[in-house]
Amino acid sequence: MIEISTLIAIIGLAISVATFFIGRVTAAKKGGAQDAEMKADIKYIKLSVDKQENKLDGVVENFNDVKLEIEKLKERLRALEQKVKLLHGDSIQ
């Protein structure tokens, strides 16, 4: 027959093994939850970057439009200066 000390040792070993595997499963679940949280954070960051990139594209487009308008105004100014020179002679510089 099995002695009580041997039975206690076997039960203790079984409890230790069970505790070890429960701990591993819990750690895996916790790690999975952390992974999911990190993936959600990365997705949020990507969306935020995309939004900022779209806004920046709009700003660049507006800048290019303003730049083009300034070039057009410069040309008109040059033309007006030429007309003034023709009307008043070459004395205006």
If you search the block for the tokens 């970057």, which residue do you land on?
A: 49
3-class secondary structure per residue, the chain: CCCHHHHHHHHHHHHHHHHHHHHHHHHHHHHHHHHHHHHHHHHHHHHHHHHHHHHHHHHHHHHHHHHHHHHHHHHHHHHHHHHHHHHHCCCCC
The rounded distance, in Å, linking the Cα atoms of 3 and 5 is 6
- Return the pLDDT at 92: 54
What is this structure's pTM?
A: 0.48
Contact 16, 9 (CB under 8 A): no
Q: Over the stretch 34-84, which tens digit does the pLDDT of each residue have? A: 778 888 888 999 999 999 998 888 889 999 999 999 999 999 999 999 999
